[in-house]
């Protein structure tokens, strides 16, 4: 539980040390008779929005479909927790960077010199 | 040797970067309306920003976190969104003011109305951010910013009365127009303590990969850089006090403002005034454009860095690509740059508790600072100045807007 509170809202970086978002949510596994365990971290989608404003999050989910496609990264792939949370993932293919890719391909990439 | 060079460069950055449309306009307005009497507000604002800059640098050097990054982590998304909105709004208004400042300078130089310069100026700023790197932008604009030292030369030429000036470094009550006096005082403090300054500085420190060996440099640079910067702002106030105040000219008629340098320095003074205004405001516009992008990227975890190509940090580049033209539209729409500037500065003062208190909490958190946390002097100074400025702004802004003094 302490771990969940520590990693929440920390910066997430991928195997190449590239920023890929924040720990927007934490998935807890409840185990009967034993303390709960962090089973995954959630990056992107509408996860963080749920914590800011429920109505807004519900509206966004209707528009985007599903949960806005967050990346769920199992705890076994978390390499280290320090200044950042480093995970064993290629951010380039991760749904966490969906909007980054969209902005790059549709807007910024089309401007000369990008 | 390289450390010595960095110290020198840092101090130059402080001097060259301190003066921008806000401190120029508010100091000139204060001098024209009240003579030396408001010099204390510049002193207070300078002390406050020197402490804040030092803190932002120390946070970056010790914890390797930028300010938005640490705030998001420490206070969570909900609180961060509030700070993000307030800082973005204030910075956006200041950005529009800076663009307005460049446009006014171009109007003085060319006679063509400031409105028509807004889009070209924003376009040029965008091009530099798009193509340039961090070193070029930070160092280039601040080296050119040294032209603002012309105000010190101008002030000395006017032979200010040292005794009277020194005594006005202590706060005093107004003798006339109290609402305008307090409004100008908080605008001056707001101009010095613009949040973009310390957010930008913290991003720069992480971008330059500072560690604890930079703490000494950081202390010197923030203290001396901001100190000398404040000195230049006092010089502007002195010029306005000695040129405009005796003639009874108020700064709201901005055709008269170049007089503050043209009187002591002649034709060259006019040119130096226009150059100072244009360069100082343009440099600030670049920094604010970047800072808006830093704030969003660091708070929401996007890739960021002015040394990356735009397509490598697309959302980061998108922020300044949208913010610059939007801010230019405000000026193009014909909003008076001077009124906008002074209003933005007062609003900055009003928002100080929201922009400053989270930083103070972080600076006293051993999780981030270890044994490099704040001492009581810096805590008390920043907290005191911010709250006083906020309370005074709360009273003075409505009085000013709805015709009190």
Q: What is the CATH number of the domain that holds A22?
A: 2.30.30.240
Confidence grade of residue B403 (pLDDT, cut at 50, 70, 90): low
**Which residue's entry shows tokens 């604010």?**
B288
Which residue intervals of B161-214 are DSSP H helices? 162-167, 178-192, 195-207
pLDDT of residue B404: 47
Lowest-pLDDT choice from A59-63, B18-22, B103-107, B202-206: B18-22
B335 has a pLDDT exceeding 90: yes
B160 has a pLDDT exceeding 90: yes
Average pLDDT score, chain B: 91
CB contact under 8 A, A113 and B318: no
B238 has a pLDDT exceeding 60: yes
Q: What CA–CA distance (Å, rounded) separates B195 from B355?
A: 7
Q: What CA–CA distance (Å, rounded) separates B247 from B172?
A: 23
Confidence grade of residue B252 (pLDDT, cut at 50, 70, 90): confident
Q: In terms of DSSP bridges, do strands A34-43 and A25-31 run parallel, antiparallel, or are they unpaired? A: antiparallel
Q: Report the predicted TM-score, pTM, of the whole model to 2 decimal places.
A: 0.93
CB contact under 8 A, A109 and B311: yes
Q: Is B116 on the interface with A (CB under 8 A)?
A: no
Residue B96 structure tokens: 């529009």
The domain containing residue A46 runs over which residues? 2-110
Q: Is B115 on the interface with A (CB under 8 A)?
A: no
Domain B2-401 of CATH type 1.10.3720.10: no
Q: What percent of chain A has pLDDT over 70?
A: 99
For B270-286, what is the mean pLDDT? 93
ipTM for this model: 0.93
Burial class (CB in 10 A: 0-12, 13-18, 19+), A61: middle
Domain residue ranges in chain B: 2-401
Chain A residues whose CB is inside 8 A of the B317 CB are: 108, 114
> Radius of gyration over alpha carbons of chain A, in Å?
16
Confidence grade of residue A1 (pLDDT, cut at 50, 70, 90): low
Mutate to test the interface with B, among A2, A10, A19 (most CBs of B within 10 A): A19
For B209-232, what is the mean pLDDT? 92
Q: Is B317 on the interface with A (CB under 8 A)?
A: yes
pLDDT of residue B20: 83
pLDDT of residue B97: 95
Number of A/B CB contacts below 8 angstroms equals 70
**Which residue's entry shows tokens 């709360």?**
B394
Q: What percent of chain B has pLDDT over 70?
A: 99
B383 has a pLDDT exceeding 50: yes
CB contact under 8 A, A100 and B130: no
For A14-43, what is the mean pLDDT? 92
Q: Over the stretch A19-33, which tens digit does the pLDDT of each residue have?
A: 999 999 999 998 898
The total domain count for chain A is 1
Q: Over the stretch B81-120, which tens digit does the pLDDT of each residue have?
A: 999 999 999 999 999 999 999 999 999 999 999 999 999 9
pLDDT of residue B208: 84
CB contact under 8 A, B314 and A100: yes
pLDDT of residue A81: 93
- Cβ-proximal residues to B64 (8 Å cutoff; 6+ apart), any chain: A83, B206, B211
For B129-150, what is the mean pLDDT? 86
């Amino acid at each position: 539980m302490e771990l969940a509170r520590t990693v929440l809202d920390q910066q997430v970086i991928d195997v190449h040390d590239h920023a890929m978002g924040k720990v927007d949510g934490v998935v807890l596994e409840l185990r009967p008779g034993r303390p709960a365990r962090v089973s995954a971290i959630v990056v992107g989608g509408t996860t963080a929005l749920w914590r800011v404003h429920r109505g807004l999050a519900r509206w966004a989910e209707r528009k985007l479909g599903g949960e806005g496609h967050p990346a769920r990264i199992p705890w076994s792939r978390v390499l280290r927790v320090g200044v950042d949370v480093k995970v064993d993932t290629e951010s380039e293919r991760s749904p966490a960077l969906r909007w980054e890719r969209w902005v790059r391909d549709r807007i910024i990439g089309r401007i000369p010199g990008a | 040797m390289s450390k010595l060079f960095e110290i020198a460069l840092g101090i130059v950055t402080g001097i060259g970067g301190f003066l921008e449309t806000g401190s120029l306009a508010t100091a000139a307005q204060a001098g024209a309306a009240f003579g030396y009497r408001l010099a204390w507000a510049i002193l207070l604002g300078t002390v406050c920003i020197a402490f804040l800059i030092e803190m932002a640098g120390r946070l970056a050097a010790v914890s390797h976190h930028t300010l938005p990054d640490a705030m998001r982590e420490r206070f969570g998304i909900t609180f961060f969104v509030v700070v993000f909105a307030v800082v973005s709004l204030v910075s956006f208004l200041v950005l529009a003011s800076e663009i307005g400042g460049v446009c006014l300078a171009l109007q003085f130089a060319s006679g063509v109305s400031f409105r028509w310069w807004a889009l070209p100026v924003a376009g040029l700023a965008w091009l530099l951010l798009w193509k340039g790197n961090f070193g070029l932008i930070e160092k280039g604009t601040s080296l050119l910013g040294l032209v603002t030292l012309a105000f010190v030369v101008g002030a000395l030429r006017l032979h200010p009365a040292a005794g009277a000036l020194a005594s006005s470094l202590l706060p005093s009550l107004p003798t006339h127009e109290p609402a305008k006096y307090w409004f100008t005082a908080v605008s001056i403090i707001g101009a010095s303590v613009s949040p973009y300054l310390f957010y930008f500085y913290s991003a720069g420190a992480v971008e330059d990969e500072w560690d604890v060996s930079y703490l000494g440099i950081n202390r010197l640079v923030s203290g001396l850089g901001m100190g000398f910067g404040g000195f230049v702002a006092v010089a502007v106030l002195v010029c306005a006090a000695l040129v405009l105040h005796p003639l009874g000219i108020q700064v709201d008629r901005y055709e008269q403002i170049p007089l503050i340098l043209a009187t002591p320095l002649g034709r060259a003074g006019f040119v130096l005034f226009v150059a100072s205004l244009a360069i100082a405001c343009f440099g600030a516009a670049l920094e604010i454009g970047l800072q808006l992008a830093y704030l969003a990227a660091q708070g929401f975890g996007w890739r960021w860095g002015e040394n990356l190509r735009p397509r490598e940090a697309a959302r980061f580049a998108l922020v300044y690509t949208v913010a610059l033209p939007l801010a230019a539209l405000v000026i193009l729409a014909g909003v008076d740059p001077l009124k906008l500037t002074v209003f933005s500065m007062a609003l900055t003062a009003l928002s100080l508790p929201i922009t400053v208190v989270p930083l103070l909490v972080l600076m006293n958190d051993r999780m981030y600072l270890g044994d490099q946390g704040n001492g009581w002097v810096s805590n008390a100074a920043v907290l005191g100045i911010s709250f006083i400025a906020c309370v005074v702004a709360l009273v003075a802004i409505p009085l000013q807007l709805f015709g009190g003094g």
